[in-house]
Structure 1
Amino acid sequence: MKILVVSWYMPPYLTMGALRVGKLCKFFHQSGHELRILSCDDLPFPNNLPLEIPEDLILRTDSLDINGFPKAVQKLRLALQGLFAGGSSSVPAVALETGGSSPGIPVSETANDAPARPSLAKRTLRMLRIVYQELLNFPDPQVGWYFSGKRGGGSILAEWQPDVVFASAPPFTTLMVARALCRQRKLPLVVEYRDRFYEDPYASLSNSFRKKIERVVENWWMKDAKAIVTVSEPWAEDYQERFGLPVIPVYNGFDPDDFAADHPRQPTDSNILNIVYTGILYPERRDPSPLFEAMSLCGDAGKNIRVSFYGADRDTLIAMASRHGVLDQIDIHDSIPYQQSIDRQMNADILLLLQWNDPKERGNVPGKVFEYLGSRRPVLGIGVEDGVPARILKERDAGIVVNDPGIIAQHLKSWLAEKQAQGKIDLLPMDARKGLSRPEQFEKVETLLKRVADDAS
């Protein structure tokens, strides 16, 4: 089967999207399929994720930064502000793509601690920035890739004809590029939703007009799709009901090549329970505060619990841990290469999973869930307690998802007692990860693509 994969993310850029798509392409390549990949070059992420297919299968095109002009204006304003402000100081404006406050930067205060009111010029610039983003960052800030992506895809199709096109989103500009290519060449399109667009639970619902436009645009680009791949059963049910297309849920899974059963486990201090988290934090949405409160509830025993964070914002963590008096039990590390993160997970006692404690999160299944199961370490989850990750962990007796600090404290004490009694926390049985390897999951994608390609021929 000849497969064209369209994805903004690909290794070596270290993101969960690049990891999933890169592993899927590895599976296709090892399964003997003829493969081409259209992707974007020079992404703003660490570039240390191993590429496991030949580079010459990938065409990486450039992308126009549509926010380049307002970013330049912002830099100029800050430079002029620093030049003419004299002794006065104010909060540096954050990068345009964040649209929020900058962690760890103190807010300017008046003598009575009240925040200074922004000047008319600042308020005007902020409003112009918001209007600019709403109008031009559509469907997302990566829309600047649309034309170069189309040109790159056209150059591939001028010399090679795939049986099926597989487009993975986000960013959702990817789906617009893939749709245009499929319409030009009358090719069948299969769409992958790794995250939501119109129904995105993390998106602000304040702009109801934009949400209406998003729904219309999503319906438009899905008109040419023949099938959908997504990451969980609840999302699959939603998409099937909405679009009336074949939909399959395909978990991220873990790669057995990365999580070998005989991976060396380093001995650790038998008096210390080591908990590891790899990834970023979102205050109130991926928030370890219940764990920190539970550690403080453990009293003297809690002093023997250490939590290591890799890649989370330092200032955010310091504020959270200090609030609960456990700062001296927290180790904060910069983001590390993927293979190193696997090693940290394999050598932890307990692995921490953070999600949003909200019903909207039920169908969201972080790829980290499967890395943790691949590591065969017990999982402590904080977040929605009746979501797909909680069900998977419960069915496999691989961990818990709970938000009550008192209950978390009980589990911490139990794990600590086990560690101190036998010098280690037992590995999960191999059955805990059965059926969740990437090859086992990706076989479902392969079967779907073959069916779509056969129907089109």
Structure 2
Amino acid sequence: MSSKKVLIITYYWPPAGGPGVQRWLKFVKYLPEFDIEPIVYCPENPNYPIIDNSLLDTVSKKIKVLKQPIKEPYRLARLFSKKSTNKISSGVIPKAKKQSIIERLLLYIRGNFFIPDARKNWVKPSIEFLDKYISENKIDCVVTTGPPHSLHLIGLGLKERLDLKWLADFRDPWTNIGYHKALKLTQKAKAKHQKLEKEVLNKADKLIVTSNNTKNEFLLKTTTPISVITNGYDHHNIPKQTKYINFTLSHIGSLLSERNPIILWKVLSELVTENLSFAKSLQLNLIGVVSDDVIQSIKAHKLEPFLNVVGYVEHEKAIAYQMKSRVLLLIEIDSEETKAIIPGKLFEYMISETPILALGPVGSDVETILKSTNTGVYYNYQNEIALKKQILVFYEDFKNSTLEVNAIGLQSYSRKALTKSLSIILRNI
């Protein structure tokens, strides 16, 4: 069987850190085992909000990586406010009432002058470059992955010019994603987003999404075939870690302003006040980008003495934190839009042998996965009493040295198994 050449157009690629890079980094790792030759196209000089140089060592030297320059507005925006620009580019959007004039202006410009996103200026140069490359190198299929959804417009432009197959991969929804509400979009801008989304959904040959909720949303908008391939976990070489002596709750990843679990801080504050033993044992680790709103909420609930803000760490260190913790926190915004969001870290959490405590909206895909794999518990934001009882159950198990996980059915979420599913789609597209 001859290898099929597939061009993968992605914004995030090492040394980019954070969750956006992991999906296609791992697909590219395993695709050659399924007779698919991946060729990666990414920016030469991107404005990544998070850098993780350790990921550079995970890319095989055999993988061909094409790079072209990109012009992004964030560099110019930093002339006005470096701090505000860094926040917005990394996804930390302050609540409306706490936004400075500069932040409001930057969000308005970002939302209404850069559609679908701040990487729009890379679309036309990329189409020109790849048009020639695809023709000269006999590429069988093009894959675009977003966000940023500008990259789907590269696929759209190539599809209109060339006789090729195009697969559009949506790691998150487009017009139904939660942060759109924060971008101060005019009606004209909203309509343009919807028009572009419709074109991509209907002109791609195949769509891949990461959750059933996103699939159900897109089924109302297109007849293009849709497959669900979730994110997953990869095997690592991190040795087994000794658990923290304390009853340590850890959140790994960004905690943005809107993802601020007041109900959790309230419950922990009550338990600290009511239970002296609990107070002596509690430790709260936040590993990753954390908004000022979250820190202020924790302080307001008198939990600062138990707080350990670590900040962003390299991927391998994040895995070690997962394994050392007693309970892992998975927090999602309480909204209809976030039902479809399955954080990539969930799957690494699932193999950490650490119980997961998740908070999110009713009807989330996360709840289904946790229940089916027996890796944790899930509560919505109206379950305050049940949440408090559950944390006490975890704490009692911790004291009795019986706090453990008996996971089932994890193999289907391995990166290699997921790549096999992807390879079948690519071969049959």
Fold shared per TM-score above 0.5: yes
Question: How many angstroms does 1:376 deviate by?
Answer: 2.6
Distance 1:7 1:278, change over 3 A: same
Residue in structure 1 matching 2:43, options 40, 43, 50: 40
CA–CA distance in 2 between the matches of 1:131 and 1:342? 37
Deviation string 1:273-299 (CA, Å, 9 cap, x unpaired) is 11111111122x322322221112212
Distance 1:430 1:415, change over 3 A: closer
Residue in structure 2 matching 1:274, options 228, 231, 248: 248
| Partner in structure 2 of residue 85 of structure 1 | none
| Partner in structure 2 of residue 23 of structure 1 | 26
CA–CA distance in 2 between the matches of 1:293 and 1:275? 15
Confirm whether residue 188 of structure 1 aligns to residue 165 of structure 2: yes
**Any idea what SS the aligned residue of 2:408 has?**
helix
Q: Which amino acid aligns with 1:243?
A: T
Distance 1:282 1:315, change over 3 A: closer
TM-score by length of 2: 0.87
5 Å-filtered alignment, 1:117-196, equals 132-196=109-173
Q: Which amino acid aligns with 2:236?
A: D
| Unaligned 5+ runs, structure 2 | none
CA contact (8 A) 2:213 2:340 kept: yes
Residue in structure 1 matching 2:85, options 95, 109, 119: 95
CA–CA distance in 2 between the matches of 1:295 and 1:96? 31
Deviation string 1:383-410 (CA, Å, 9 cap, x unpaired) is 1142110121122222112233332222
CA–CA distance in 1 between the matches of 2:104 and 2:179? 22
CA contact (8 A) 2:330 2:357 kept: yes
CA–CA distance in 2 between the matches of 1:415 and 1:369? 19
CA contact (8 A) 2:77 2:85 kept: no
Q: Which amino acid aligns with 1:7?
A: T
5 Å-filtered alignment, 1:305-316, equals 305-313=282-290, 315-316=292-293
Residue in structure 1 matching 2:374, options 373, 397, 410: 397
| Partner in structure 2 of residue 355 of structure 1 | 332
**Any idea what SS the aligned residue of 1:243 has?**
coil
Question: How many angstroms does 1:97 deviate by?
Answer: 7.4
Question: How many angstroms does 1:434 deviate by?
Answer: 3.4
Question: How many angstroms does 1:59 deviate by?
Answer: 0.7
CA contact (8 A) 1:8 1:40 kept: yes
Which structure: larger Rg? 1
Residue in structure 1 matching 2:72, options 55, 60, 65: 65
Q: Which amino acid aligns with 2:325?
A: A
Deviation string 1:63-93 (CA, Å, 9 cap, x unpaired) is 0124554544x26xxxxxxxxxxxxxxxx98
| Partner in structure 2 of residue 11 of structure 1 | 14
CA–CA distance in 1 between the matches of 2:40 and 2:114? 25
TM-score by length of 1: 0.82
| Partner in structure 1 of residue 277 of structure 2 | 301
CA contact (8 A) 1:170 1:195 kept: yes
CA–CA distance in 2 between the matches of 1:97 and 1:399? 31
Distance 1:69 1:348, change over 3 A: closer
| Partner in structure 2 of residue 344 of structure 1 | 321
**Any idea what SS the aligned residue of 2:169 has?**
strand
Residue in structure 2 matching 1:52, options 52, 59, 63: 59
CA–CA distance in 2 between the matches of 1:336 and 1:447? 35
5 Å-filtered alignment, 1:371-390, equals 371-390=348-367
Residue in structure 2 matching 1:236, options 215, 218, 231: 215
**Any idea what SS the aligned residue of 1:5 has?**
strand
Deviation string 1:221-261 (CA, Å, 9 cap, x unpaired) is 34431110001112112223311011011110111x2277x
Distance 1:308 1:93, change over 3 A: closer
CA contact (8 A) 1:259 1:374 kept: no
CA–CA distance in 2 between the matches of 1:187 and 1:296? 58
Aligned-pair identity (%): 17
Confirm whether residue 220 of structure 1 aligns to residue 227 of structure 2: no
CA contact (8 A) 1:146 1:176 kept: yes
| Partner in structure 2 of residue 112 of structure 1 | none
Residue in structure 2 matching 1:425, options 385, 403, 421: 403
| Partner in structure 2 of residue 89 of structure 1 | none
Question: How many angstroms does 1:337 deviate by?
Answer: 0.1
The RMSD of aligned alpha carbons is: 2.9
**Any idea what SS the aligned residue of 1:362 has?**
helix
Q: Which amino acid aligns with 2:145?
A: S
Confirm whether residue 443 of structure 1 aligns to residue 416 of structure 2: no
Deviation string 1:316-359 (CA, Å, 9 cap, x unpaired) is 34311111111111111120000110111112111100001123
CA contact (8 A) 2:144 2:152 kept: yes
* Count of aligned residue pairs for this structure pair: 411
CA–CA distance in 2 between the matches of 1:314 and 1:343? 23
Question: How many angstroms does 1:307 deviate by?
Answer: 1.2
Question: How many angstroms does 1:182 deviate by?
Answer: 3.0
